[in-house]
């Protein structure tokens, strides 16, 4: 595996190779074009990129490739199979069972980095593999970045990625010395409304836990806990950045005002879909 701090470069893969039989007995192409076609036929949107990653992970061992492809065809997350994911140009380790960071979170991580002074302090809640925390450290190497997660596997994985990660439930994991010192609190918490869990892609809960997604009736249960807890750790003028979606920014508007947050910015992607909020503690 490449070092977590290195920028990822596009790997070289074989353009032609023999065919191997997959675990089901069906032939698995050993070349990029053939494997891409196979994955496209199975419904994978980024089939070409996934084919490339699987070929690199197999390292020219076609029996290994067949086994890896068989796992992917069951819906197992690609990052669990290859052991890595690229996030904000960093190659990060992702262990089986650990939430896989999504590219949609990258703008939030980069925005958090812009709010973090060069010698400041940041807190990353629900860090998972440590993707956001590692991005902050990469962009602000002189800053202190502390992360936490309730899942011990995630904490171990984040530490392997060079993150100062603590085990515990949200702010309960943090030392009292951080009270009132943070320039940034950033969090990617579970925020899918419980009734909408069934709308997630069919293979999600075959491998992943609902705990990584379930945010309660309207998806804001954990978000509200972060809003309420962050003022104890943020300094005045510090920033809170949360990933969320749908109409949750509107749902939380009253909480934000009541708890003393100002200059609330709703973050949207290029398609206009809400992806998060940024607020400043007044």
- Torsion angle of the four alpha carbons 195, 201, 203, 205, in this order, in degrees rounded to the nearest 10: -30
- Which domains, ranges and CATH numbers included, belong to the chain? 20-74 (no CATH), 85-281 (3.40.50.150)
Q: What is the mean pLDDT of residues 268-277?
A: 94
Instruction: Give per-residue pLDDT as tens, 87-138.
Output: 999 999 999 999 999 999 999 999 999 999 999 999 999 999 999 999 999 9
Report the predicted TM-score, pTM, of the whole model to 2 decimal places: 0.86
Q: Which residue has the higher pLDDT, 176 or 7?
A: 176
Quick check: 123 and 175 in contact, CB under 8 A? Answer: no
First-to-last C-alpha distance (Å) of the chain:
43
Q: Which residues contact 216 (CB under 8 A, 6 or more apart)?
A: 193, 194, 222
């Amino acid at each position: 595996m490449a070092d977590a701090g290195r920028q990822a470069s596009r790997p070289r893969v074989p353009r032609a190779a023999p065919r191997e039989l997959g675990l089901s007995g069906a032939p698995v192409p050993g070349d990029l074009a053939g494997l891409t076609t196979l994955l496209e036929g199975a419904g994978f949107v980024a089939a070409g990129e996934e084919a490339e990653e699987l070929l690199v992970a197999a390292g020219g061992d076609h029996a290994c490739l067949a086994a890896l492809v068989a796992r992917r065809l069951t819906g197992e997350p690609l990052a669990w199979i290859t052991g890595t994911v690229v996030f904000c140009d960093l190659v990060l380790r992702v262990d089986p069972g650990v939430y896989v960071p999504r590219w949609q979170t990258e703008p939030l991580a980069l925005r958090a980095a812009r709010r973090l002074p060069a010698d400041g302090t940041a807190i990353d809640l629900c860090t998972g593999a440590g993707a956001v925390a590692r991005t902050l450290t990469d962009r602000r190497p002189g800053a202190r970045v502390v992360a936490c997660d309730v899942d011990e596997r995630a904490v171990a994985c984040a530490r392997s990625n060079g993150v100062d990660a603590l085990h515990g439930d949200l702010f309960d994991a943090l030392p009292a010395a951080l009270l009132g010192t943070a320039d940034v609190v950033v969090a990617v918490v579970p925020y899918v409304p419980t009734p909408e869990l069934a709308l997630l892609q069919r293979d999600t809960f075959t491998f992943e836990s609902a705990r990584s997604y379930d945010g309660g009736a309207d998806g804001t249960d954990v978000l509200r806990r972060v809003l309420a807890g962050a003022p104890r750790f943020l300094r005045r003028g510090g920033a809170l950045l949360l990933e969320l979606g749908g109409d949750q920014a509107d749902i939380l508007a009253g909480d934000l005002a009541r708890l003393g947050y100002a200059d609330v910015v709703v973050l949207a992607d290029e398609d206009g879909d809400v992806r998060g909020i940024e607020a400043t503690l007044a």
